[in-house]
């Protein structure tokens, strides 16, 4: 039987690996967006810039500290990376990249339910074209597959 200390080490080790994987996956997504473009009506960075500007005004922080790119990095690395590490044991699939794909679908759906309405695109991007929410979901799945694939490199095996 594991001691509580051993359990904490496993959990924090898993989260640490998933944070680094989140950073790599976010960088891959940035490169993909820079080369392929994004959904013009729902440009994530521009939306986060507007949120960052409002936050800077409300808190008195300088704009560079809350820039949209920084927020995207924080969300992709810290939020999604940490959640992936926590959710890893309950995600479906045996391989980490499949678990990442499932996580990407969850992240994409949460984005469609939370971020898209805030950006004025409606739930599931219903105010956009039919292709825009699909592209957003595909980006999230690519992010998740990359997240799981990079995570698997840290553990040295491809299955749980």
Residue 116 in domain? yes
Q: What is the DSSP letter of 95?
A: B
Whether residue 115 is contained in a domain is answered as yes
3-state secondary structure of 159: strand
Enter the DSSP assignment of 156: T
What's the domain range around 59?
Answer: 4-155
Element (H, E) at 10: helix 4-36
Domain count, the chain: 1
Closest CA to 152 of 75, 77, 84, 90: 84
Residue with tokens 């500007």: 53
160 occurs within a structural domain = no
In this predicted structure, what is the pLDDT of residue 145? 97
**Is 18 part of a structural domain of the chain?**
yes
Identity of the highest mean pLDDT range in 31-35, 46-50, 136-140 = 136-140
Predicted confidence (pLDDT) per residue in 99-126, tens digit: 999 999 999 999 889 877 877 778 887 8
End-to-end Cα distance, the chain? 19
For tokens 């009506």, the residue is 41
Whole-number Å distance between alpha carbons of 17 and 24:
11
pTM for the full predicted model: 0.79
Q: Is residue 143 part of a domain?
A: yes
């Amino acid at each position: 039987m594991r001691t509580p200390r051993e359990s904490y080490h496993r959990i924090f080790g898993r989260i640490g690996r998933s944070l680094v994987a989140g950073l790599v996956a976010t960088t891959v997504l940035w490169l993909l967006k820079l080369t392929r473009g994004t959904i013009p009506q729902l440009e994530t960075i521009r939306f986060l810039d507007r949120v960052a500007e409002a936050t800077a005004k409300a808190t008195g922080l300088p704009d560079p500290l809350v820039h949209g790119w920084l927020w995207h990095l924080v969300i992709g690395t810290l939020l999604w990376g940490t959640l992936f590490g926590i959710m890893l044991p309950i995600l479906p699939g045996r391989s980490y990249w499949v678990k990442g794909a499932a996580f990407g679908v969850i992240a994409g759906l949460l984005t469609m339910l939370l971020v898209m309405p805030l950006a004025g695109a409606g739930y599931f991007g219903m105010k956009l074209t039919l292709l825009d929410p699909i592209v957003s979901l595909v980006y999230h799945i690519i992010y998740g597959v990359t997240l799981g694939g990079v995570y698997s490199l840290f553990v040295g095996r491809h299955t749980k």
